[in-house]
A and B are shown apart, each in its own frame.
Chain A
């Protein structure tokens, strides 16, 4: 039992007051020299027992009154286990205990994490559970797998040992999913009397209105609910909120852009901190910029990966009270090369006589492995392209239906497509073949003549032409265009379509238009790729423009190779080759675990721990293959904002759980918990009445 005003318990010495008064009264008497002693002794002897019992009873009552007064004003709190549970237990109970092991439970204060406290609380609850009750214990990650279900605990030691082995996961807690599992447990519970005990740090993250449906149903079933709060309210935390690959494509030897976001939720700024960047296990320190208090800081990174293939990256901040959100993992796929195909509508005999020449130079400048395949529009390959990352159609007169269909399929599958206008372009044909098939972002109207001086890049932060936006406008103002294709630009653009750049003319005609189609992207240039219509190909910005656009059109790699903890891992190889003896090696366990193939994919649900998960299998030839998936902590779980009691009441509605504050080693009730001073006060009043009656009875003449 706890007391809200424990110092007042010193008043228990007042329980000795009635005894003291009784003893003092025996010192206050009158002395009488008495003659008929014989009759006095006779009377006293025959009444002695009765008188002694009455006196003792009165004394006991008065002592108890003093004790009750002191206990009442000390505001006792009945614990939810031990005596409280005994009092609450009227019948055999099916008890469901939910232990939150999400990321935020790893917050450490006073040498203990919230999960440590939660495990202690769970152990206390289990020790207080008798063998007559049925216990179901489940953690929040994953929610669907109870540790025990409807078990009768003759000896709770084993289960407590399993609980002791639990560690905080890197996943967030989805309370609606947890409550679904709890609801299933209650539906199949052994006993009609049900009890729910949630052991959690009561953070806001993970709670939503979807839980109310469950709580109201449980309230109607008469479920008794208790929330044991093991969280600390005074928190200070630095987290690595994001670590992402900015460039959609990583090529060997090329600097790949990444960005990291650091959130400093502490009251002090952090200067001179050092992080650690690991690439494929090789770590190197990294100085962090000044991290102002309460602010979010962006940290750009540029990393060169020399070899093609998968690379595992890890960025970590220095340790703090909650280390789970200090590190993030990335799986980066470095391609062998970038495959581009240029379909030239007019192959010239001499250099720079066709659009393809200018494009080829732009794509192949530098050391980066951009592999270009050129072909004329009459080339059979044009309709059946080899595996290509980006196809570029330049000044092609007519697109065949087969070609249009093939390109549409490939773009939907992830290929990038850039279309340049030219002298041979037939707007009607393009509209018929490409616009109607969904490839063209806008319907072509007509070819119009300029001149137009300058191009304006639209300010989208994720624009493929974002590098151009960083160039001084004066440089872009030099681009001159004599002829362009006018497009029909509706007032409201369809979804997936946007204008990336406009000509600097009176009508601001769209210059470069993008359309997302399926997993791919189409970028339409309203001018030619050669000097026929524009001088842009000889402007230094031309190379940057076409390269940036081509890179943006490439389907990003590794989207499925980077997951959030707690989300099921699913890997489907890019080809349909068989996978034999698939296995997975989790980051915290070097022992390979077998996997089953479901629907041509490998699935693994237990991604609660952050790190690199390695899938391995044998191909048809028996050769060992592998693939790495990076799992990072769920940023939602890093939010330590507490869930207010009023909000909890709102979410749990009719259930009205009792909230118990847990302090190391013992459970205490706070707020509207199990204060029993009212009960004691009622007992006190009753005792006063009884004492009055008894005193009157004892004091009457007999």
Chain B
């Protein structure tokens, strides 16, 4: 089971907000350039600067002395798509969880969070090509479908992210959030080329890079025969004594990670490096807290404490982004 109640409990109060303007029928949690369509009333939420004043419920204000906005079923028009790497490289893991397990847990957690906040979430599982696709939906049954799909997936074959990026770009019609969960052990140029296409179409992209600690630290003390995990039957093998080049390897991996981070930063893409040894809940909550600070959005949940006055807080200036 990839869904962890503890993780969900920790991240749900934080919520996941889109940083960019997204398309959707209802403007609510996520800013939308389109005005909303009359839909069924769902509940109230606190007023945020920028909300449509016509949706302000004066009666709720009279009752509570708080400005509240009426929310409707399809208020949240965030359409998030999870892109999960299920190539053979995600199979690695010496501890309790392989990278894929970790990534799948992450995907399930994000899906649960999004569904909880009534955002639509979809899933694309890929290796060298797309293996599975779930159109974004905000229903509870969508979560179950996502989890089922995750359970049935076994990491295999090579990684070819650029192909998937292009396909997903064609599949996602409206602007939304694309969350890539992968180790990114692929050709970065073609990968970022694909991401660029997504960005061009107005999608916001989050990248969760999942790596095993072994892959970063090379902790092996004895001689090792390294076999290419994505090599298949004719996998390349390399005999080496790790202690002789550990530092150099770690430097190379740090360079790789730094390159990924730098390119994401340049492209205005959020990037989070997750080690399979990291506690996912802690890592995610830290990340979501960070997102909230950046966007100026009041946070809710146990981690936040007192809610800041939305009238007093101006939205944080967007960080330099580019496509």
Contact = CB atoms under 8 A, between A and B. Distances in A.
Interface of A: 25-26, 28-44, 46-47, 51, 54, 698-702
B227 A29 contact: no
Given A35-B230, A42-B252, A701-B247, 19 more contacts: A28-B222, A30-B224, A32-B225, A32-B226, A32-B227, A33-B235, A35-B99, A36-B89, A37-B226, A39-B253, A40-B240, A40-B249, A44-B238, A47-B248, A54-B244, A699-B243, A700-B243, A701-B246, A702-B248
Given A26-B239, A35-B92, A37-B228, A44 B245 contact: yes
B220 interface: yes
Interface string B223-267: 111111111000110111101111111001100100000000000
B243 A40 contact: no
Contact of B227 (A31, A54, A698, A700): A31
A675 to B, nearest CB: 41
B115 to A, nearest CB: 31
Contacts of A30: 220, 222-225
B218 to A, nearest CB: 8
B206 interface: no
A25 B240 CA distance: 11
B170 interface: no
A35 B215 contact: yes
Nearest to A41: B238
B21 interface: no
Given A35-B229, A51-B244, A43 B249 contact: yes
B253 A702 contact: no
B244 A29 contact: no
12 contacts: A25-B223, A29-B223, A30-B222, A32-B225, A33-B92, A35-B215, A35-B229, A35-B230, A39-B256, A40-B226, A51-B241, A702-B247
B307 to A, nearest CB: 43
B91 interface: yes
B74 to A, nearest CB: 41
A34 B89 CA distance: 8
Contacts of B23: none
B283 interface: no
Contacts of A37: 226, 228-231, 236, 238
A33 B243 contact: no
- Closest 5 A-B residue pairs measured CB to CB? A35-B89, A33-B229, A29-B223, A34-B226, A43-B249
Nearest to A42: B252
Nearest to A43: B249
Contacts of B247: 701-702
A41 B90 CA distance: 19
A702 B215 contact: no
B252 A702 contact: no
A35 B248 CA distance: 17
A39 B243 contact: no
Nearest to B255: A39
Contact of A28 (B91, B185, B223, B227): B223
Contacts of B160: none
B258 to A, nearest CB: 13
A43 B222 contact: no
A34 B226 CA distance: 6
B101 interface: no
Contacts of B119: none
B127 interface: no
A285 to B, nearest CB: 88
Nearest to B253: A39
B94 to A, nearest CB: 8
Contact of B248 (A29, A34, A36, A43): A43
Contacts of B249: 39-40, 43
Contacts of B185: 35-36, 38
A29 B243 contact: no
A42 B245 CA distance: 11
B43 to A, nearest CB: 45
Contacts of A44: 238, 240, 245
A210 B280 CA distance: 101
A279 B253 CA distance: 111
Contacts of B244: 47, 51, 54, 698, 702
Contacts of B212: 35
A39 B225 contact: no
Taking each of A31, A43, A698, which has the highest tally of chain B beta carbons within 10 Å of its own beta carbon?
Answer: A43
A118 B1 CA distance: 96
Contacts of B92: 33-35
B223 A34 contact: no
A47 B239 CA distance: 14
Contact of A34 (B228, B252, B253, B256): B228
Contact of B239 (A29, A38, A43, A701): A29
B239 A702 contact: no
Nearest to B231: A37
A701 B224 contact: no
B183 interface: yes
A25, A35, A41, A43: most-surrounded residue (chain B CB, <10 A): A35
Nearest to A38: B185
Contacts of B223: 25-26, 28-30
A46 B248 contact: yes
A43 to B, nearest CB: 4
Contacts of B228: 33-34, 37
